Structure 1
């Protein structure tokens, strides 16, 4: 057993023994069941307000490869708030289970909430993402029209994020995973509204940077129009930019 694992086990056991620690959560790849031989030990302690400074001092110096988050319930509620600069971190808290919870399930509830798009923002988030996606494809095709192939592919590459944001959010308000988790997430938690297989989707996203970028965009556009029209966003595909990209010839050579 190396020093990192030993430190992790000692802190987890200390958390079980101390009443001022309200909960312990294994995070990162190990917490999601996606670890490999190089995975660090990432974990979070939820402590009482009065104990926060004590544990900040006690666990100030940990071995390299051990990463500890220290929260009170209120500080975690404020962490990675929707619309804040730390919003990108929210997927960190998805797919996790509390090791133990002295709050009667509150910590698990907070994790579940943090690991999704807030319900009150979901429709706006999907609409914003779809507009962003269509705008990226529009600019990509305009670059293709003047034979600027580098700009064409770069604009297409930036369409990946908004397409995935809208796609995941329309499935139980899910967040886009960090890309190293993308295949794992798609295979273990399928996007049932998607007509493409996992391999088809990933290959199409990869092709956005290739000589087949335009064809890949057309494939994503067709899927987006089918799926999101059925979800109540048909009006977006009637706008000028959407009509332009949907009507652009698929036979154009890059």
Structure 2
């Protein structure tokens, strides 16, 4: 075991810090590492925040254990094998992946395997990135198109409902284009500001106000959101030597004119 010291954790109360330090100091050889997630890991903790810490154990010691909750810390047992196998799109484990994005690996007794596995959870590459993009892009276009069709046909409620439904697919697509898993809604403003996507239209100062307009059912906002997605999809195809995303868009034919 490598002795570990807690980093600065703004907003984390003293009792929680003490509980985390106690976990770090354990000499149990079955413990392979400790990963801090949630608000505490991202500098957003308040007095009402849960402090979520994953205690990574060997396969033999970690199987069958349940989360231990206390006012100071929620101790979540897991195994190295589980963390080294990020959930695929369409599985229940997919929705847990962003919990490891920008998490603090407080202790790693695996020679770096744990740290690398945690990093991998938040990233998309290769065939996984391609599969996520094709799936989420098609769903995004579907809901954005439906919203604008409702606006054209004079159905304002349906416009707002489909516009709101398009948002999850839109953000999934935007983040997947940059090789990342979409943040949980709670962390979206933080993630955009602290970890920019590198596209002007997707900066926090541009994307967040646009998001609010989409949720209000603004047809112009839906079209504004679509333009850089199409551009970046075609650029992604060129960079990766394929036509998967162009083919997905082409499948919509002249219906895309409603989004442009």
35-44 or 77-86, which deviates more: 77-86
**Partner of residue 222 from structure 2, selected from 206, 217, 220:** 217
1:64–1:215 CA distance, 2 compared to 1 (3 A): same
1:243 alignment partner in structure 2: 256
1:137 alignment partner in structure 2: 144
1:19 alignment partner in structure 2: 29
Task: State the alpha-carbon separation in 1 of the partners of residues 110 and 16 from structure 2.
Answer: 28
Task: State the alpha-carbon separation in 1 of the partners of residues 68 and 102 from structure 2.
Answer: 28
Using the TM superposition, give the Cα deviation of residue 222 of structure 1 relative to its aligned residue in structure 2, in angstroms: 1.7
Q: Is 1:231–2:243 an aligned residue pair?
A: no
Task: State the alpha-carbon separation in 2 of the partners of residues 179 and 96 from structure 1.
Answer: 16
Cα offsets for 1:113-162 (capped at 9, x unmatched) = 12223532111211221111111111112212221111111101111111
- Structure 2: segments with no counterpart, 5+ residues: 1-12, 238-244
User: Secondary structure in 2 aligned to 1:174?
Assistant: coil
Task: State the alpha-carbon separation in 2 of the partners of residues 67 and 56 from structure 1.
Answer: 13
**What TM-score comes out, normalization by structure 1 length?**
0.83
Q: Is 1:116–2:123 an aligned residue pair?
A: yes
User: Secondary structure in 1 aligned to 2:150?
Assistant: helix
Q: Is 1:149–2:159 an aligned residue pair?
A: no
Using the TM superposition, give the Cα deviation of residue 71 of structure 1 relative to its aligned residue in structure 2, in angstroms: 1.5
Task: Decide whether the 8 Å contact of 2:98 with 2:182 is kept in 1.
Answer: yes
1:105 alignment partner in structure 2: 112
1:210–1:5 CA distance, 2 compared to 1 (3 A): same
2:240 alignment partner in structure 1: none
1:252 alignment partner in structure 2: none
Cα offsets for 1:196-225 (capped at 9, x unmatched) = 5422211111111225x1011011122222
1:195–1:82 CA distance, 2 compared to 1 (3 A): closer
Q: Is 1:160–2:180 an aligned residue pair?
A: no
1:250 alignment partner in structure 2: none
Task: State the alpha-carbon separation in 2 of the partners of residues 240 and 231 from structure 1.
Answer: 20
Task: State the alpha-carbon separation in 1 of the partners of residues 115 and 124 from structure 2.
Answer: 16
Task: State the alpha-carbon separation in 1 of the partners of residues 231 and 96 from structure 2.
Answer: 30
Task: State the alpha-carbon separation in 1 of the partners of residues 108 and 166 from structure 2.
Answer: 40
**What TM-score comes out, normalization by structure 2 length?**
0.82
Task: Decide whether the 8 Å contact of 1:80 with 1:87 is kept in 2.
Answer: yes
Cα offsets for 1:148-191 (capped at 9, x unmatched) = 111111101111111111111121x2011011111111111111
Task: Decide whether the 8 Å contact of 2:192 with 2:203 is kept in 1.
Answer: no
Residues 171-210 of structure 1 correspond to what in structure 2 (within 5 A)? Answer: 171=178, 173-210=179-216
User: Secondary structure in 2 aligned to 1:38?
Assistant: coil
27-36 or 78-87, which deviates more: 78-87
Q: Is 1:89–2:69 an aligned residue pair?
A: no
